Amino acid sequence: MVEKESSNSGQAYQFAHKHIFGIRQLSSTDIEHIITTAQSFKEISNRAIKKVPTLRGKTVVNLFMEPSTRTRLSFEIAAKRMSADTFNIAPSSSSATKGESLVDTAKNIEAMNPDAIVVRHSSSGAPQLLAKHIDCSIINAGDGIHEHPSQGLLDMMTIIDHKPSIEGLKIAIIGDIAHSRVAGSDILGFTKMGARVCLAGPATFLPYGVSSLGAEIATTVEDAIEDADVVMALRIQKERQNDPLIPSLREYAIQYGINRSRLKKAKPDVLVMHPGPINRGVEMNPDVADGSWSVILDQVTNGVAVRMALLYLTLGGAKSGQEQTES
Ligand code: CP
């Protein structure tokens, strides 16, 4: 059984996080609460009028200093579906190109009174740094090789959509673990929720000390996938590697790529996941990415609901989630 941690033991549960820096700060109760809240918001996206007044009057700034398709767009959609005003800052059009520091950028944004800054940055710890200097909520949308908590939460929500519980599942994560903030959040989240996490990849992609997070390192990709309930492939994070850490992409695809033959080793009802963007034919073959076992686009759909939940919980929307799902 997963040992339930409580943020405020002995009292009625209350979500008590102004900032979302990572899965590490969240208890299993927090994780369950965020996912339950996201599940209650999910149907809003299927309505003819996809909007509720929950965050009317709130201002959310998306400060993305690295490229993003899914995370930036889904935070913006999430905020807009809850009637918040959203504004986006991209690195190429910001004054960071003129030498302004991240803290100065954030202080200037704060001078315009936003309620939350959603930040993506190449430096691990950038969200915590901002929180030391400014007062509004900070939500980490991916910091360096550290964490990508909303991705970890949407991955857990997607698994729960298809399996009775995360507890007791074998989850294989294959690829560039060392440079992946998704891996950082997923390993922490999956193990907190009671899964057995098995990692595989070239030695140069397996970070020192990862077993201290509770994950096992398999000798081969086949061992990791054997009887797995979930197989997640990760992109090679070339942007975080100074020198090539593998001989060639072709060789990597042969040794570690997820193909049909490897997938046969997993349980028949295996879920195939990938945080995106996918390099088809490298970490995963197209027929696997598009096959019946793939829940990759479900992950993206759940991303909107999870980000609605995170904005709602950190910005203190109306007290009852039920209230918000009734138009
Ligand atoms: N999964 C993810 O973070 O994708 P983006 O880089 O497109 O946001």
Mean pLDDT by 10 residues, the chain (327 residues): 53 92 97 98 97 97 96 98 96 90 95 98 97 97 97 98 98 95 97 97 87 90 98 86 76 94 98 96 96 97 98 77 38
42: number of Cβ within 10 Å: 18
Q: Is residue 151 in contact with ligand 1, taking CB distance under 6 Å? A: yes
Say if ligand 1 is within 6 A of residue 54 CB.
Answer: no
- Residue 13 CA to ligand 1 center (angstroms) comes to 31
Q: Indicate if ligand 1 lies below 6 Å from the C-beta of 73.
A: no
137 and 30 in a common domain: yes
Handedness of CA 242, 243, 245, 248 (dihedral sign): positive
Instruction: Tell which atom from ligand 1 comes closest to the C-alpha of 120.
Output: 8
Number of folded domains that form the chain: 2
What is the model's pLDDT at position 327? 33
Ligand 1: atom nearest CA of 73 is 8
Tell me: do 184 and 257 sit in the same domain.
yes
- Cα 112 to Cα 55, 60, 130, 191: the distances in Å are 18, 11, 15, 40
**Do residues 168 and 286 share a domain?**
yes
Structure tokens that stand for 104 in this block: 């100065």
Measuring CA to CA, which residue among 152, 218, 232, 209 is closest to residue 184? 152
Tell whether 104 and 169 lie within a shared domain.
Answer: no
37 lines ligand 1 (CB under 6 A): no
112 and 164 fall within a common domain: no
Question: Are 143 and 229 part of one and the same domain?
Answer: no
Tell me which residue range forms the domain holding 188.
149-300
**Calpha distance 231→273 (Å, rounded):** 6
Whether 239 lines ligand 1, by a CB cut-off of 6 Å, is: no
Cβ–ligand 1 contact at 150 (below 6 Å)? no
Looking at residue 212, what is its pLDDT? 85
- pLDDT for the residue numbered 126: 97
pLDDT of residue 326: 37
- Count of alpha carbons within 13 angstroms of residue 79, beta-carbon side: 24
- Global confidence as pTM: 0.92
* 171 and 290 assigned to the same domain: yes
- Cα 325 to ligand 1 centroid, rounded to whole Å: 27
300 lines ligand 1 (CB under 6 A): no
pLDDT at 75: 98
Tokens 């090539």 sit at which residue?
244
Same domain, 282 and 206: yes
The answer to whether 242 and 265 are in contact (CB under 8 A) is no
Q: What values do phi and psi take at 89, rounded to 5?
A: -120, 125
User: Are 97 and 154 found together in one domain?
Assistant: no
Domain of residue 244, CATH code:
3.40.50.1370
CA–CA gap between residue 74 and residue 84 (Å, rounded): 13
Rounded to 5 degrees, what angle do the CA atoms 221, 159, 199 make?
Answer: 20
Measured by CA distance, the residue closest to atom 1 of ligand 1 is: 275
222: CB partners within 8 A, 6+ apart:
262, 265
Cα(326) to centroid of ligand 1, in Å? 30
Return the residue matching tokens 């550290």.
Answer: 146
One domain, residues 182 and 122: no
Please indicate, yes or no, whether residues 185 and 43 belong to a single structural domain of this protein: no
> What is residue 5's predicted lDDT score, i.e. its pLDDT?
54
